[in-house]
Structure 1
């Protein structure tokens, strides 16, 4: 690596949004237009239009650190590298993996020009489609136990319910762990009762989009898969019934009587 290469190379960690090309930010589009290399999980790289001079590096799931190391090394060689995630790269996506690799890697990687470019995460896209269920305090929880133990997930679910947060759930139910989301619903019913509203927002902003609003008592595990964002309201979340799809929202205020 010579000085000219070190100066010209850069790395952008970007979010492609929830699916619709119209929801990709201009900043991300500009980075992709300048890139020499795009690195990412196979279905996300497939969303990038090929062009002359652009090298696409697709890899399978669960190799995030290898993917990050490749991107950092390419940038250190003077390449203009974009690492793609769906949604926002800082929300259960590649930005954290990139910095894990950076911290553990060779010292010269730390001198790279590294930028994180935000995108519209599925949680916000789903909330917007439904109304404003995240209109007051909320939390986001990744329900996958690939990188953290299941007892910790249950603990966080119970504490979030006790604090009366609205809750947004990523990765609710996969083929490898279909029983996990069933247990999530059990925990929520124990903590919140059956009446709390729950939103199942699948494939938001794509042709496969489907939104269902139900109560916790009506919710079934098979209503969610890995393309579904699940949002559970707080005790103050309301439903405005109307002829078409109802509006789900959480008011900006909490009554003073709440202890």
Structure 2
């Protein structure tokens, strides 16, 4: 459900899983489930509820000494805080995750960490740092066959290369990432489209209008999956969603850097 961007359904499945755990007196991966629910609420735009679930997930990892997906919980929390505009708190959680990954050696978590670090670097105006992290994540994800992480890393690198003046490479990467998420489902589908459209707007403006139109169609499709009116309204208020819809409405000139400093909230 999560990969299909049916986030409201993912929450329902997660809550059912917790109910089963409580009914049988178990705690099977309850921290991971709480984290998944929190991440889904973030995708729906309900950041306060999302952060509350992520806090509960981190506490559950501690309380039950549950190390499974602990680094992932920290990194997801960091990504949510970054969207909320709290770059410093996001950086702190990313550092905690890095320490865990250094011990576990998980390549999956390492790729996730590099993506988050790439986004953090972009938020701070460190384009070279963003490039280094995204490029490493892209190559690692490709070697592991992790499509969603690969598309996200490619999009981060695309936007960063255009920013760095490497327009041709950035545009090629943006088109590659767009093709990947348009051909298959990804939980980062909206974020990838946002970054890639911004890269095209700067590097190949003639093709940006069509890319924004396709991205807006996808956003409306995801909104159509949301039955709860409150959650649908929150989803449509997400900054990343509003950027895409506004750019489609206003034309190619409306596109701009989705992670420029001061525009994270």
TM-score by length of 2: 0.31
User: Going by fraction, where is helix more abundant, 1 or 2?
Assistant: 2
Which protein shows a greater Rg?
A: 1
User: Going by fraction, where is strand more abundant, 1 or 2?
Assistant: 1
